[in-house]
Structure 1
């Protein structure tokens, strides 16, 4: 690494930027405001749709977008960089600025985002000893090359030089990862950013609340937080206030850089003190190409769908959803309250309301800087409910109707002078979405209550409100007027005038669906359409091979990445006649095996060890496709480790096996009475001390020459296995432990005692298979086939295939933007158009893994990429019904 950047260490506090971090949040050019931020990623949207998608975010009222820059999207192969076309992030940032949106740029180097490898290039861990996401010179040398290309694009578009970027995030949720030297790592990233000309604030987000774990405690890096609560969690407010208070003691704001999408939750965050609120993922997208990840979100494991959608307010094809309306309302509240909201202080509000509805255990209230308060009243239940606001400021108890799954914002005691209006807004249970010299603008779905007072002005006899327009509630005291407002109907706002003597307030209540944006525009959320999709059953089967058949010889099976296949697939073949059983370790992601042409059910178990009888076969063929690299770090399965490699893994023949279930000694607190130590079978000790740590020990008959593998019968969650003094963790989903030559003479197995938990163990002596014929097929080779000219034969669907058979089809499709779905069984379908892989689906197969994210059955065809046909690669799978593609649905 070029360590000349070290000279800028410690300079952060001396940088003068138009963006400052203050208790009011991220303030740009002296403007204090709460910022609403929508994630919007150019790499998940066709370039032709960048501008309309940015315009849609702006029209929602959100002021900011956060933008990841995926390293491996731009370094497409080692040293091969691309910032053109769909990868022209500079143009995207310029368009964001043109749309009036600010940007939080997130260049990583690791981004997560359920993206292939979290954006870390797949070849990094081919380097011996390289430690990712750490202060490792080998890794940082690569990061420096990435930052040298990405950060100048950001620096040239900072707010400090008239651009959109108001902050730059370093790394992403580092507190989830076991980084050995956090301060050293974050210091290096900070210094690289400063050396690249970044002058706006640097931030680092905590994924599970560990601020030091995210920032390393490095000077000049502001901590932010990612909260993903259950939307019905009653303890959200006190948790968020705790972080807000902790940060306030350091003079810092609470910046929430990722959270849920439902605006009822976002309102609770607002009243609990958040100054940046960035729901992930409000603007959905699509993982084109071989870019989804594997991992994340437990079980363990899952394939991330190409459809990248968590029900945000914009669908993957850009259509607004119901939550889009809620965004416009919340944005209007933020805009109306302005700097007073950003400068507010947060407090618990145990006396704020009374209700029988499921609600917060400790409600939050903001004390606005210019006077007044904003109280949040969550209704976490499924039905309507009432809340009672206690008598206050001359008003009686007021009953508020709470809609289900909502958070009502109650404004009280707010002076109206700054809006050019007289008196005080004593109370409104509708959302305050506007105010100026002409009156007050509210928004509500149901009935609401509003009250005005003259404050210290001379008391006047309150005037009655015309019953023909709204209901009235008798005022509790002179100098206050209180009225119940009818629920507005869509298209028909409620308008009235409330008066106290010679003072009058005009009030308009909009239905949220009608609320104009800040520029006066009204965007209508389309209603769901019940149109039936077109059923496509015609196509052309192409005379086009799905691979070249050109192989090279390797002594042992290579990883995909070592062959230059960072995305795509690899074909392997070897002789297996010398063994009756195979042990395959770390094969992933989609593994199709055939023994003498007999196709086996697909394996997609994230690298878990497989034991496969050869049944006398002489030849093994395998096709291994990379779905994506792990974006998280899960130690339970090999392919879920961040930085793990792909391919067939290591393939062994079994030379011998031995049952080693017996002759284990046992020790643990009080587990046995005295010498001699008992010799139970592994896991067979019976004791009432369930849950107490217990250890089984024995020697294994390893020869010091061969590799061995130890397979446990069952594993209760995870167990700790000490081999010759070195500790390993073995999990239930992969109950195997590999022993290199010389390892395993002494072994100890420890876990919380569960009677009969392990069900014994077997020791296998292994011999690695030699002599492999290998054909790499990177994504570029597959894309070339997807655009190649080839003759074909007209054919109709259903298309029946044999297990392991592949076929290319050209299928005519209707014009415009489409969703394609496929009907069939035991086939995998890859869909191509406009030189891109649009997506992959896997139909009706017991071997199919769990899919996470969006719609696993949908392939999106953007209108701008629709040439009137798609090219489809169909592969048949074994293990159930005969492979068949019955139809394609387009709509």
Structure 2
């Protein structure tokens, strides 16, 4: 362990320099909040065994402040213990306390109740929000400060915010200044960084002194333009004496090699060590159409699976990490430039990169971006040398490397295998393919030798001579590259065949308490204390013909007079609900998660958007307002008076040019109205009584409060298609609701209750809207559980935790993104021999059925 009195960390041109050791750092994301505490130590050891020297760690605010003013840093929330284990494992930590983290986590870690505070504006230099952030930082930052590298701990850098260049922060300089001052005020003296999600340096850092820019690159792995883009950013920060820190990027080591050759001194592929979202913690938003539900299985294909399987990429990780260690300061201090003269017979980079190594020599990245094997010809001082390229690979070609620093004579003139070790006894390379090396010594003719491809477990050894000088060379298969402590790396065996689980016990337990409170209007879930969980609503609707539901999210289940309707999960888009003469409406709204990324296309995808049933209106009348719009075409024509056309009915050859349509709507000045733009093709700007807003085709509705709508202007780009029409609905609020709040802790308490049981065999059939508790025996140890069926949602519980949720074969379910939507994981340390299932039947398809459950053993 480093003596804390002498430990240092600094940020220089060569990167994050720890104890004066200059080395290109490989860093894996590893999140304590996505793992049981019992596996932290083992998972950290797995990362260290790959040769990665660092981990980046988010600290999610809402994981620790579970309700307003209620803080939890115990058990699996004990981030201090995790950081201590990282230090013991020899891993540096880049700590990322937010306040916003994204990470496909519920709300990006911003507590759900913040949106309830009047006037509070998220991620702004605004007093109410900064006061809340101060409360979080007052608890999180001291934990980091006392564990800084220079104080005997693991923390080598602290990231403020996350990808702020994606967000409309009005005064970025003031906001980042406030966060910086909070950090330094708590004694953070390791480097402060801020990452750009789309390359905007000032957008990420606010231009604040003392906050260094970092970059998140997520290119197409097969893009030929990666190198040129990355070199541009290396040059930009290099001109300021700063390193190129890549705080997030793709997992594939082919891409990481390209980034390394382009000048990155920190490479932190996001989610190399995958995890799992226990509880009601996944987000909604990213990568759907337009929105999706993030799976509990949080897996983007990194070298460690969510359940701890070491995938084949761990061998590539060990090889690249060993190369970085071997070259050390020469690599970290290198400058990057465009390589010249390389000829490749397959798809490759448009402008490959070459590093000019400090002290002599070069390292050149030669990518093969195709799925076919290829051949490259590399110009050298020995003439043009051919090298084989594996599919989807990037050879790192060393040339003219002086060997004196390793205690060896002469120069390594050429090598297209990875140099994974060098000392006075010789050189060690790693390759899956035949390779070539060339050596020279002063006054002697260089020697070029072709090396055979090794097989796993059978390295090739050579003595290479040029005149009187000799070098011992060993060529390893990447799977045989040792871990940093010299032990052999281990890949996980293929998973065993899953075991069918067909027997269960149906437990006679309620699925809710039935205790309600009266509310005049339907409240948001957060307003009744449901930050995660479910909210149940009941109202009388006798005599009403149709409802309009605005802003409901996430999973909405309605029943009319006890008959379930198909679920909907439309991310807050407005929904019309015919009542068919029903007298009673029941609704259950389950929060899958809050939006983690600000997206204006739908109300429920905006950061800070609330959950619950939204606003519920009875439709009193409907009027067609498609006609009688006056047209202002701007440059489209000359003339006055303006013509009158239907909405979107102006014809012109000038497509794409803005056209504005105006009219007064027949509103009475006292009621609420909704304007529906049926068939809207593209986003348009709607100005109501001088106030402007953007309306998306995903939710083509405009709510008009009493007094609004006498003057409406709609500006849209001209496109000669039939855009449908416009309808004005008069609304009356549905009043007198009975509401039962069922937050996550209440559901967890129900899941642990005892009750009489009846043995059953799967499949289990339910009626639409019916719910049932099951106890399902499972094999011992860690298990991946998989569910089969249709028209059911399943929540699985164990040891007082929600393992996760699956939604089976239902046309109403949204797109699931992230990992495997059908897998739930029970860690071995949580396995008491059974899981408790809450099964909910949905309407709209065949009869709801849970057909089958299988279990496959998983490593820990």
Quick check: TM above 0.5?
yes
Q: SS where residue 123 of structure 1 aligns? A: helix
Q: Corresponding residue for 1:692?
A: 657
1:500-539 alignment runs, 5 A limit: 500-529=466-495, 531-539=496-504
Q: Corresponding residue for 2:3?
A: none
Q: SS where residue 653 of structure 1 aligns? A: strand
Shift of 1:71: 0.4
1:285 aligns with 2:272: no
Q: Corresponding residue for 2:402?
A: 415
Name the CA distance, whole Å, in 2 between partners of 1:798 and 1:224.
Answer: 52
Q: Corresponding residue for 1:711?
A: 676
- Residue pair 2:533, 2:590 contacting (<8 A) in 1 also: yes
Q: SS where residue 617 of structure 1 aligns? A: coil
Q: SS where residue 326 of structure 1 aligns? A: helix
Name the CA distance, whole Å, in 2 between partners of 1:103 and 1:709.
Answer: 51
Q: Corresponding residue for 1:469?
A: none
1:617-766 alignment runs, 5 A limit: 617-672=582-637, 674-766=639-731
1:384 aligns with 2:369: no
Q: Corresponding residue for 1:365?
A: 354
List per-residue Cα deviations over 1:334-366 (Å, max 9, x = no partner).
000001100011111122x11121111111000
- Residue pair 2:504, 2:761 contacting (<8 A) in 1 also: yes
Q: Corresponding residue for 1:90?
A: 80
Q: Corresponding residue for 2:8?
A: 18
Name the CA distance, whole Å, in 1 between partners of 2:569 and 2:498.
Answer: 31
The root-mean-square deviation of aligned C-alpha atoms, in Å, is 1.1
Q: Corresponding residue for 1:482?
A: 448
Shift of 1:673: 5.3
1:426-465 alignment runs, 5 A limit: 426-454=413-441, 457-459=442-444
Which of 292, 317, 329 does residue 339 from structure 1 map onto? 329
Further displaced range: 722-731 or 674-683: 674-683
- Residue pair 1:716, 1:757 contacting (<8 A) in 2 also: no
List per-residue Cα deviations over 1:681-713 (Å, max 9, x = no partner).
112223222222111111101111111100011
Shift of 1:527: 4.0
Name the CA distance, whole Å, in 1 between partners of 2:378 and 2:637.
Answer: 64
Q: SS where residue 82 of structure 2 aligns? A: helix
Name the CA distance, whole Å, in 2 between partners of 1:21 and 1:814.
Answer: 50
List per-residue Cα deviations over 1:770-790 (Å, max 9, x = no partner).
100000000011000111111
Shift of 1:672: 4.4
1:149 aligns with 2:139: yes
Q: SS where residue 346 of structure 1 aligns? A: strand
1:224 aligns with 2:214: yes
Shift of 1:416: 0.1
Name the CA distance, whole Å, in 2 between partners of 1:272 and 1:527.
Answer: 35
Q: Corresponding residue for 1:355?
A: 344
Shift of 1:422: 0.3
Q: SS where residue 882 of structure 1 aligns? A: coil
Q: SS where residue 397 of structure 1 aligns? A: strand
Q: SS where residue 178 of structure 1 aligns? A: coil
Which of 30, 35, 45 does residue 40 from structure 1 map onto? 30
Q: Corresponding residue for 2:157?
A: 167
List per-residue Cα deviations over 1:102-134 (Å, max 9, x = no partner).
000001110000000000000011000100111
Name the CA distance, whole Å, in 2 between partners of 1:862 and 1:320.
Answer: 16
Q: Corresponding residue for 1:60?
A: 50
Q: SS where residue 331 of structure 2 aligns? A: helix
1:295 aligns with 2:285: yes
Name the CA distance, whole Å, in 1 between partners of 2:57 and 2:475.
Answer: 36
Name the CA distance, whole Å, in 2 between partners of 1:259 and 1:458.
Answer: 45
- Residue pair 2:454, 2:460 contacting (<8 A) in 1 also: yes
Name the CA distance, whole Å, in 1 between partners of 2:319 and 2:840.
Answer: 48
Name the CA distance, whole Å, in 2 between partners of 1:515 and 1:837.
Answer: 39
Q: SS where residue 148 of structure 1 aligns? A: helix
Q: Corresponding residue for 2:116?
A: 126
Name the CA distance, whole Å, in 1 between partners of 2:7 and 2:662.
Answer: 63
Name the CA distance, whole Å, in 1 between partners of 2:242 and 2:46.
Answer: 31
Name the CA distance, whole Å, in 2 between partners of 1:325 and 1:605.
Answer: 43
1:534-573 alignment runs, 5 A limit: 534-573=499-538
TM-score by length of 1: 0.95
Which of 579, 583, 587 does residue 614 from structure 1 map onto? 579
List per-residue Cα deviations over 1:31-71 (Å, max 9, x = no partner).
11111000000000000000000000000000000011100
Shift of 1:635: 0.6
- Residue pair 1:112, 1:632 contacting (<8 A) in 2 also: yes
Shift of 1:458: 2.0
Shift of 1:500: 1.3
Name the CA distance, whole Å, in 2 between partners of 1:142 and 1:886.
Answer: 47
Shift of 1:370: 1.4
Name the CA distance, whole Å, in 2 between partners of 1:685 and 1:396.
Answer: 68
Shift of 1:670: 4.6
List per-residue Cα deviations over 1:464-483 (Å, max 9, x = no partner).
xxxxxxxxxxxxxxx20001
Name the CA distance, whole Å, in 2 between partners of 1:871 and 1:648.
Answer: 28
Shift of 1:671: 3.4
Which of 259, 273, 285 does residue 269 from structure 1 map onto? 259
Structure 2: gaps of 5 or more residues: 1-5
Q: Corresponding residue for 2:464?
A: 498
Name the CA distance, whole Å, in 2 between partners of 1:423 and 1:533.
Answer: 57
1:105-254 alignment runs, 5 A limit: 105-254=95-244
Name the CA distance, whole Å, in 1 between partners of 2:358 and 2:815.
Answer: 49
Which of 792, 798, 804 does residue 833 from structure 1 map onto? 798
Further displaced range: 55-64 or 296-305: 296-305
Which of 844, 856, 860 does residue 879 from structure 1 map onto? 844
Name the CA distance, whole Å, in 1 between partners of 2:330 and 2:617.
Answer: 68
- Residue pair 2:288, 2:815 contacting (<8 A) in 1 also: no
Name the CA distance, whole Å, in 2 between partners of 1:228 and 1:640.
Answer: 22
Further displaced range: 745-754 or 565-574: 745-754
Q: Corresponding residue for 1:779?
A: 744
1:403 aligns with 2:390: yes
Shift of 1:545: 0.4
1:577-592 alignment runs, 5 A limit: 577-592=542-557
TM-score by length of 2: 0.98
- Residue pair 2:48, 2:484 contacting (<8 A) in 1 also: no
Shift of 1:528: 2.4
List per-residue Cα deviations over 1:187-230 (Å, max 9, x = no partner).
11111111111111111101111111111111111110000000
Name the CA distance, whole Å, in 1 between partners of 2:491 and 2:499.
Answer: 24
Name the CA distance, whole Å, in 2 between partners of 1:631 and 1:17.
Answer: 37
Name the CA distance, whole Å, in 2 between partners of 1:537 and 1:489.
Answer: 44
Structure 1: gaps of 5 or more residues: 1-15, 460-478
- Residue pair 1:17, 1:199 contacting (<8 A) in 2 also: no
Q: SS where residue 556 of structure 1 aligns? A: coil
Name the CA distance, whole Å, in 2 between partners of 1:272 and 1:673.
Answer: 55
Name the CA distance, whole Å, in 2 between partners of 1:601 and 1:687.
Answer: 43
Q: SS where residue 498 of structure 1 aligns? A: strand
Further displaced range: 572-581 or 76-85: 572-581
Name the CA distance, whole Å, in 2 between partners of 1:195 and 1:670.
Answer: 56
Name the CA distance, whole Å, in 2 between partners of 1:669 and 1:663.
Answer: 19
Shift of 1:299: 2.2
1:843 aligns with 2:828: no
1:817 aligns with 2:782: yes
